[in-house]
Structure 1
């Protein structure tokens, strides 16, 4: 009796492949093999440098493991090799050249449904770089699909038609064995998302997903997924790439460090008067101003003073990360529209090492400024 090897692969592979694909779409390298070697060697170096923090390979995104493949105890499909066949899905897709139908798709939803769908999608890796307007379009474009117990949602080997976000229900992930039987390799319970890999990688479904119980899903068509999610993610990273070139402290970064940084940024948008950082809060990351103005307010011994204003190309929030103290100032949006690129604390620690000396030098300037305003250096730990 023959025994087949176990082809089960690590749980982080989905995220790793998605991140790499987006990076390739953005940078469009001439030599894909060389690019892949540099990309994964970079990740390996970052992991080694971050030890013993035990960060995941995907820690260049805040709360990485909260995304689509980890919202329950899921193991991704074990067998990813299929005989390719010509199909409607086999066409080449280039986000930069996509000038297709831009008409916004809208499926009506109640306020409660929109809120729940927003919560379900906010930590999905591919959606992380989208701004609130893009995310609203994502939510608008998703339609509801009810499923019965034992209903097959996607079948291994089929073409990819939709991307799915689970509203409720339990779903089993299985792959076919060589003898025709199926092996369960994972399960979604009440939350999660699936189906993006076939849409991104131009490949048939790598596994079967079947409803264990009656439930409901939110679905997005292949065409809409590409137009909104892939193209917007592509354009957003190109925007960050251009922005990085204009920020003075980033001039010391190597090419692949800049590319990693562009992948790590998350969009944050504010209106005039909105609170961005509150004095006394724990630091979760730092901010770079893409558009607009912010003002920094410091309260000391009951006295409140505006320390400075930060405009396009400037940054704030880094000193609390350097000193590992709580926020020692409050930051408000000070223009009609404020657009920020947010870098979470894990990405900050791993990606901005070459910029640290500049930031520490600026810290001395901030200390001097505080002494002038408050006449004391005793409580200076961080201005932002």
Structure 2
């Protein structure tokens, strides 16, 4: 026996979990990081349990690189040479509003990149407009056979999406670089470089001529993290404006802010219809909507009750009652909505339901007059 031990590999899904958790921490900038991480993971577990899932459903995709424990000494030396591995100091409130970066692409390239971005964990929280900004900001890099795109142990600052070409992936196994897999005309790699000044965990070498699309860490921060931070602050302020949620603590509202997501509706599109069972509450990030109601006497005619604009909300009683919607809501223009689903609300605020239902009963009485904050 040569005394060498076979080093275990990182379990599937672990890298994606760390990336996702790191992104949430950078986005939220919590004062109590430990508590935030515990709650974050607990919420993930609750979602999986609600769906009847026994384990985390992280996609086993092309950007999951196996990393062995024998990587540790070499990577540690790289950290020491280059000053350590950590999230660099970054204050999203002080980021300059720089001019939007756009690199030219064909419509086919844009469509292909957009499809790839939708599948990448770090970008799944973005709405479609933000993903388009990410695509616009990616620049092209061509490579030749035997060219190393990234090199094990070197510091990384770019993330890559493959447009074409074949690429071999090598990792350190027992202090020897060994090929572990191959990308052919698709895949992405280097996500951690978007958040951390960290040594590369693998070497990726071009086998054929190829085309890559790259994004720098600086661009990622200016587009993705800054937008996410500002959106989180907006969501917190929107939740604070809802009378129905006044009994909640700041901590509980923060958890609800994490559960909000963006939906874009086009002019004339219905958000929900009179008689529908309420499953969601809505906040208007931008745009405007109109609230319309019909009566049993004149079912083919509607009365326009009110219009709602930026930072107003509607559908709040769906969070606590199972009553059908009392009116229909349509977008007057292209409108961006922040959506809070009933299931998320109940999962996060289960212990507060009785208090909130009492508040809802009082609240509903004030809405029966069909004022601007109509019970819809």
Assess same fold via TM > 0.5: yes
2:49 alignment partner, one of 44, 48, 51: 51
Q: Cα–Cα, structure 1 residues 176 and 308, in superposed 2: closer, same or farther, change >3 Å? A: farther
Give CA-to-partner distance per residue, 1:148-171, whole Å, 9 cap, x none.
566432222111121122334565
> What is the alpha-carbon distance in structure 1 between the residues aligned to residue 67 and residue 142 of structure 2?
27
Deviates more, 1:143-152 or 1:153-162: 143-152
Q: Match of 2:315?
A: 316
| Contact 2:7–2:173, Cα closer than 8 Å, also in 1 | no
Residue 339 (structure 2) aligned to one of 342, 363, 369: 342
| Cα distance per residue 1:96-122 (max 9 Å; x no partner) | 365458133221122232233223223
Counterpart residue number, 1:157? 153
Find 1:218's aligned residue among 213, 220, 230.
213
Aligned length: 356
Gaps of 5+ in 2: none
- Checking the alignment, whether the CA contact within 8 Å between 1:9 and 1:78 is kept in structure 2 is no
CA contact (8 A) 2:88 2:196 kept: no
Structure 1: any 5+ residue segments left out of the alignment? 59-63, 373-382
Shift of 1:6: 0.1
Decide which moves more: 311-320 or 276-285: 276-285
2:92 corresponding residue in structure 1: 96
Q: CA deviation at 1:94?
A: 0.9
1:193-342 aligned within 5 A: 193-211=188-206, 215-270=210-265, 272-277=267-272, 286-297=281-292, 303=300, 305=302, 309=306, 312-316=311-315, 319=318, 330-334=328-332, 336=333, 338-342=335-339
- 1:297–1:304 CA contact under 8 A, matched in 2: no
TM-score by length of 2: 0.72
Alpha carbons of 1:354 and 1:139: their partners in 2 closer, same or farther (altered >3 Å)? farther
Q: Per the alignment, in what secondary structure is the counterpart of residue 105 of structure 1?
A: coil
- Hey, what's the Cα distance between the residues in 2 that align with 1:169 and 1:328? 56
Match of 2:112 among 104, 109, 116: 116
Query: What's the offset of the Cα at 1:176?
Result: 0.7
Q: Give the secondary structure class of the aligned counterpart of 1:3.
A: coil
Is contact 1:289–1:313 with CA below 8 Å preserved after alignment?
A: yes
The normalised TM-score by structure 1 is: 0.71
- Counterpart CA distance in 2 for 1:324 and 1:9 is 46
Q: Give the drift of 1:345.
A: 7.0
1:159–1:281 Cα change, 3 Å: farther
Change (3 A) 1:285 1:88: same
Q: Is the 2:170–2:203 contact (alpha carbons within 8 Å) kept by the matching residues of 1?
A: yes
Contact 1:163 1:221 in 2 (8 A): yes
Task: Give the secondary structure class of the aligned counterpart of 1:51.
Answer: helix
| Corresponding position: 1:72 with 2:72 | no
Distance 1:182 1:131, change over 3 A: same
Distance, in Å, in 1 between the alignment partners of 2:236 and 2:187 is 30
SS in structure 2 of the partner of residue 160 of structure 1: coil
Q: For 1:148 and 1:353, how far apart are their aligned partners in 2?
A: 57
Could you tell me which residue of structure 2 aligns to residue 61 of structure 1? none
Cα distance in 1 for residues equivalent to 2:182 and 2:279: 31
Shift of 1:200: 0.5
Partner of 1:27: 29
In 2, the alpha carbon distance for the partners of 1:210 and 1:324 equals: 59
Taking only aligned residues, the RMSD between alpha carbons, in angstroms, comes to 4.5
SS at match of 2:284: strand
Higher relative contact order (CA 8 A, sep 6+): 1
CA contact (8 A) 2:280 2:318 kept: no
Taking the aligned partners of 1:348 and 1:56, their CA distance within structure 2 comes to: 22
Q: Judging changes above 3 Å, is the alpha-carbon distance between structure 1 residues 229 and 46 closer, same or farther for their aligned structure 2 residues?
A: closer
Q: Which residue of the partner structure matches residue 8 of structure 1?
A: 10
Residues 315 and 122 of structure 1: is their aligned pair in 2 closer, same or farther, counting only changes over 3 Å?
farther
Give the match for residue 376 of structure 1: none
Name the residue aligned to 2:122. Answer: 126
Deviation at 1:141, TM superposition (A): 1.2
Deviation (angstroms), 1:37: 4.2
